[in-house]
Structure 1
Amino acid sequence: MSITHDSLLHVLPEGSLRIGGERHKDSSGGSMERVDPSTGRPLASFVLAGAPEVDAAVAAARAAFPAWRATTADQRRRVLWRIARLIEEHEEEIKTIVALETGSPLSMNRLTMGIDYLDYYAGWADKLGGEVIESYPNRALDYTRYEPYGVIAALVTWNGPVINTLMKIAPALAAGNTVVVKPPENGPFAVLRLAELCSEAGLPDGVLNVIPGGPEAGDALVRHPDVDKVSFTGGPAVAAKVAAVAGEHLKPVVMELGGKSANIVFEDADLDTAAGMAAMMSVIASSGQGCLYPTRLLVQDSVYDQVVEKVLATAGTARPGDPMRPEVNMGPVIGAGACDRILGQVERARADGDGKLLTGGTRLDGDLADGYFVAPTVFGDVDNASALAQEEVFGPVLAILRFRDEEEAVRLANDTRYGLAAYVHTRDLRRAHVVAEAMDAGYVSVNSFPAMTATAPFGGTKASGFGREGGRAGIEEFVHHKNVYIPLG
């Protein structure tokens, strides 16, 4: 059956810039056509911001900042809460837009996490109190205040564009900042619709601006003198450029980057649960396009064959196809470039002997041939020093390794430049705590996939970035501490 979405195209918002509460249909950056990753056909076009539009968006955010900062905490709380309720009302519409532009299956697409961020940080808006500090040797009233930075630049990734945007703007807005969002080129429409809903909820003009654009727009936004802080989600290569530009202006940044997360399965684990999660969250869900997915599976020798068999069985349950169909649980990868890159990495692994290809490794054909579908791919007996084990594929490719004992498992898991997430499967409570403590990762999950609630901080170490999204740490990224000292005698 041919995959077409023509009857659903009406849900896509107009592909214009949102600056200061107004739509800008023309731009110095020209326009771009988004290709439907499920069909390979044109989907819709949208305007790209150039340097003048970046200037306009930042100017609008700067102009809106004093009034938004002065808005009482309870008013900011109510606005965020209303945005959350509007997203709930329009959830099916937004999910459809995300499915159209990214290929993420409707059945696997949830906005619950993003809504949770809005509700959670709405609650923080009136709780950002400072502290009174003991003063000596002289008597004084010495206290701290949490104050917003000003204008935040948010550079958002395409996998989960709405959730990723809300993870950034919810704490930033709650703290009193204004924001300029650059959504991804391969997924701008859902973020543009989100901006419309924010306006409907009563967010004042200029507080949130959305400007789709390419690398030039991103560079102009990061280096803009009126941008006070940058929050970036993406890959390490682009992050290094963002950090370098921000560093020229001594501008603080938050970086949520990639990962090559180890998933350790000990012989005493629930093997069905461990293997099922390992396969589902690496080669099926989002077609493996997730930064915290467990893409390195480390299995103890004594249960290696059992786990591999179970992983392959779960990989065989993938139902790729039209992301709008309810039975589909696996969509395409994001585009032609990603498809070629992933298959190229698979071919290099085969040529270099980086393990044994157990299943997949090809582009799907037949009714799916025009889309960018890559088969669930699993390699066994992979060497941890190989490119397959060390490089982030960002596609449906799982590398399985063996280990002998706890010490070797920890050594192999930490032997990577990344440090975003780690996973441990065991029934031994002592081992769970000891191994979790030993992981060089910002997030460790035991016997499960992370819940990723708004209440908990999320972020990485090493090449996986720095700074946190979520929890109290997430809102503290968007405030600085001011100390006030008043002598009393």
Structure 2
Amino acid sequence: MSNTISEPPLELLPEPVLRIGDTRVNGTEGGDYQHTYAATGRPTATVPLAGAAEIEQAVRAARAALPGWRATPADRRRDALAAVSRLITEHTDRLSRINVIDNGTPLTVALAQGGMAADLFAYNAGWADKGGGEVHETWPIPALDYSLEEPYGVIGVIIPWNGPITALGQVLAPALAAGNCVVVKPPELAPFSALAMAELFDEAGIPPGVVSVLPGGPEAGEALVRNPGVDKIHFTGSAAVARRIASAASERLVPLGFELGGKSAVIVFDDADIDTAIQSALAGISVNLSGQGCINGTRTLVQRGLYDDFQAGLTEAVGSITIGDPMDARTTMGPVISELACERILGVIDTAVTQKHGRLVAGGSRLGNGLEDGYFIAPTVFADVDPQSSLAQEEIFGPVQSLIPFDSEDDAVRLANETAYGLAGYIHTRDLGRCHRLAASLEVGDIWVNGGFGIPASVPFGGVKSSGYGRIGGRHGIREFMRPKNVWIAL
């Protein structure tokens, strides 16, 4: 296919304003940000950024709306979220193209993310009318004791740039179903998807103030974390930023939920279906937003008997990736998010080559031939990677795959767990007993066996160790945004 990049459909973008309650704000304390399209390096639109004053305004609007939203009958909250789901489905094409403009996600991937968001709102709508509590046994005296499940109140939500539509669905759907109000801070790098979603909340009849959307930078994030009107913070992003948030939140003991990064292992045994396993390793650095995904398998451990064939197969498969215009439905890999990200990732590659962390067998450079104005990096593979090197231990957030040989099952588990992260793991083997043994032994929150990757709305998702804590998805997800209150009535 041609490497010509089409002009993005900027007419689809929402109005670049802060949406606070029922007001639209474009003159802000946080100044402005010039957004750039990652595929061309050219500007798209200027976006106002929230400062502390706008965050305070949004929190006040949320607190004013909270009593009414919390008291809204459960069936009406259910119907409102179901309406959001229907509207996302109706507007999936527009939302997906806006997502492409936001961060360069290939259109086919963005369309799938829109579908996931619709499903998340539909699923959590079903929980809105199924809350309640429990009745407990009591002693030593007779009593009626029961617990209630109540919303926290106002949730401050900080979402990432690499999957804004899905991230909004994962957090807002259960938070709203539970009866909370939400103040959302999308990043300046990708503000448009969240602003477009906010339009749909209005159309679905979500009352003003229940959801406010304010693009902003670090200043806005810190103001949101420190605001005394916020009852809980949910952050999706890097472990480094999470540590700063945790430090600030500790001053007022506000509860936190963190969905953070990863260095997830793809573990391939000698008896695996090699083609499926290669596609799993390939997805970690290409289809899933050019390696810019927290759950991506970017560390592939291959049993020694299959290692040479796997390396050859993966190197060949890298050449089949369709890289180019993210608005083209044939494209399977687009750019990384920014010029700064390009420089950082290429620096990691150069360091790995210079310090002999592994042997470069594919990629390793920025792409030209019509793509040089955008932020395109060739899918990169290192073989024989030192498992203790920074290449194997640190999250790169770019299209870089590390191949590491192993000998035994115990060896594979040790290598997989020998990292600060614990988000995901991918196992490829035909041995059912081995599947269960590894599932019990891997220090991660989510495991996929023999392909079939998916995160439906019904399953809990989240990590351990430096990949965060708390869960989104399923019954665990809605509990993340509710807290129990106990009532004892003496008889």
Which band: TM-score by shorter chain? over 0.9
How far apart are 1:108 and its partner, in Å? 2.1
Q: Distance in 2 between matches of 1:430 and 1:334?
A: 41
Q: Distance in 1 between matches of 2:350 and 2:90?
A: 45
From 2, 5, 15, the counterpart of 1:3? 5
CA contact (8 A) 1:229 1:251 kept: yes
CA contact (8 A) 1:284 1:396 kept: no
Shift >6 Å, 4+ stretches: none
Residues 260-339 of structure 1: matches in 2 within 5 Å? 260-339=263-342
2:28 alignment partner AA: S
Q: Distance in 2 between matches of 1:446 and 1:134?
A: 41
Q: 2:444 maps to what in 1? A: 441
From 376, 391, 415, the counterpart of 1:373? 376
Residues 98-117 of structure 1: matches in 2 within 5 Å? 98-109=99-110, 110=112, 111-117=114-120
How far apart are 1:282 and its partner, in Å? 2.4
Q: 1:200 maps to what in 2? A: 203
1:36 alignment partner AA: Y
Q: 2:21 maps to what in 1? A: 20
Q: Distance in 2 between matches of 1:88 and 1:68?
A: 24
**1:144-182 alpha-carbon deviations (Å, 9 max, x no partner):** 000000000000001110110111100000000000000
CA contact (8 A) 1:283 1:398 kept: no
Matched, 1:93 2:84: no
Q: 1:342 maps to what in 2? A: 345
Matched, 1:35 2:48: no
Q: Distance in 2 between matches of 1:336 and 1:444?
A: 33
Q: TM-score scaled by structure 1?
A: 0.98
Q: Distance in 1 between matches of 2:274 and 2:321?
A: 19
How far apart are 1:128 and its partner, in Å? 1.1
How far apart are 1:280 and its partner, in Å? 2.4
Q: 1:458 maps to what in 2? A: 461
Q: Distance in 1 between matches of 2:19 and 2:370?
A: 38
CA contact (8 A) 2:288 2:296 kept: no
Q: Distance in 2 between matches of 1:116 and 1:138?
A: 47
1:58 alignment partner AA: V
Residues 163-312 of structure 1: matches in 2 within 5 Å? 163-312=166-315
1:68 alignment partner AA: W
How far apart are 1:468 and its partner, in Å? 0.4
1:92 alignment partner AA: D
How far apart are 1:26 and its partner, in Å? 1.2
Q: Secondary structure at the match of 1:366?
A: coil
Q: Distance in 2 between matches of 1:291 and 1:435?
A: 21
CA contact (8 A) 2:6 2:327 kept: no
Q: Secondary structure at the match of 2:315?
A: helix
Matched, 1:356 2:320: no
From 402, 406, 410, the counterpart of 2:409? 406
How far apart are 1:281 and its partner, in Å? 2.7
Q: Distance in 2 between matches of 1:25 and 1:283?
A: 36
Farther off after superposition, 270-279 or 346-355: 270-279
CA contact (8 A) 1:5 1:100 kept: no
How far apart are 1:2 and its partner, in Å? 4.2
Q: Secondary structure at the match of 2:288?
A: helix
How far apart are 1:384 and its partner, in Å? 0.5
How far apart are 1:449 and its partner, in Å? 4.8
Q: Distance in 2 between matches of 1:447 and 1:69?
A: 43
CA contact (8 A) 2:263 2:395 kept: yes
CA contact (8 A) 1:284 1:315 kept: no
Q: Secondary structure at the match of 1:375?
A: coil
**1:386-411 alpha-carbon deviations (Å, 9 max, x no partner):** 11000100000000000001010110
Q: TM-score scaled by structure 2?
A: 0.98
Matched, 1:69 2:70: yes
CA contact (8 A) 1:276 1:310 kept: no
How far apart are 1:327 and its partner, in Å? 1.2
Q: Distance in 2 between matches of 1:354 and 1:207?
A: 50
Tell me the C-alpha RMSD between the 2 structures. 0.9
Q: Distance in 2 between matches of 1:283 and 1:208?
A: 34
Q: Secondary structure at the match of 1:305?
A: helix
Q: Secondary structure at the match of 1:131?
A: strand
Q: Distance in 2 between matches of 1:216 and 1:58?
A: 15
Q: 1:59 maps to what in 2? A: 60
Q: Distance in 2 between matches of 1:172 and 1:450?
A: 25
Q: Distance in 2 between matches of 1:100 and 1:131?
A: 47
**1:419-458 alpha-carbon deviations (Å, 9 max, x no partner):** 0001110000000100111000000111115310111100
2:59 alignment partner AA: V
How far apart are 1:3 and its partner, in Å? 2.0
Q: Distance in 1 between matches of 2:22 and 2:159?
A: 20
Q: 2:125 maps to what in 1? A: 122
Identity %, equivalent residues: 52
Q: Secondary structure at the match of 1:398?
A: strand
**1:251-272 alpha-carbon deviations (Å, 9 max, x no partner):** 0000000000011000011111
Q: Distance in 1 between matches of 2:135 and 2:406?
A: 52
**1:120-164 alpha-carbon deviations (Å, 9 max, x no partner):** 110001111200001111111100000000000000001110110
**1:343-375 alpha-carbon deviations (Å, 9 max, x no partner):** 000000001101100010000012000000000
Farther off after superposition, 85-94 or 443-452: 443-452
Structure 1: where are the runs of 5+ without partners?
none
From 469, 474, 487, the counterpart of 2:472? 469
Q: Secondary structure at the match of 2:108?
A: helix
How far apart are 1:36 and its partner, in Å? 0.7
Q: Distance in 1 between matches of 2:359 and 2:286?
A: 16
Q: Distance in 2 between matches of 1:15 and 1:156?
A: 18
Q: Secondary structure at the match of 2:350?
A: helix
How far apart are 1:30 and its partner, in Å? 1.3
Q: Distance in 1 between matches of 2:276 and 2:437?
A: 21
Q: Secondary structure at the match of 1:295?
A: strand
How far apart are 1:334 and its partner, in Å? 0.4
How far apart are 1:66 and its partner, in Å? 0.3
CA contact (8 A) 1:284 1:376 kept: no
CA contact (8 A) 1:283 1:377 kept: no
How far apart are 1:316 and its partner, in Å? 1.1
Q: Distance in 1 between matches of 2:137 and 2:74?
A: 27
1:5 alignment partner AA: E
